[in-house]
Amino acid sequence: MNKKLTLNIEEDLIEFAHNYAKRSKQSVSSIVETYLDALKNAKENQEYLNSRTKELYGIFENDPLPEKKELRKQFHEKNTDRS
């Protein structure tokens, strides 16, 4: 069931939203709904990750993935330090 939602948004952002909606042939409501649904799904998907995976999630988001050899070296150094 759809319900109405009122938002208070800066005027320039409202103008952008209307222009974007027009260009993409969507309503502003459908754009907002799609975005919120994507946020909800992303949050739900993260809840299924085990604690170790959550700890590592996004670790290489801004950096390139290191070489496999370097990852193994770091892994072994880290695990050797625990002993």
Q: H helices then E strands: how many in the chain? A: 4, 0
Q: Which residues contact 54 (CB under 8 A, 6 or more apart)?
A: 46
Residue 22 lies in a domain: yes
Q: Which residue has the tokens 């502003």?
A: 28
At 27-82, the pLDDT tens digits run 999 999 999 998 888 766 666 667 777 677 677 677 777 788 888 888 888 777 65
Domain range for 32 is 11-82
Comparison of pLDDT for 17 and 59, the residue scoring more? 17
pLDDT at 83: 52
Residue 5 lies in a domain: no
Number of domains within the chain: 1
Residue 4 lies in a domain: no
Residue 10, pLDDT > 60, answer yes
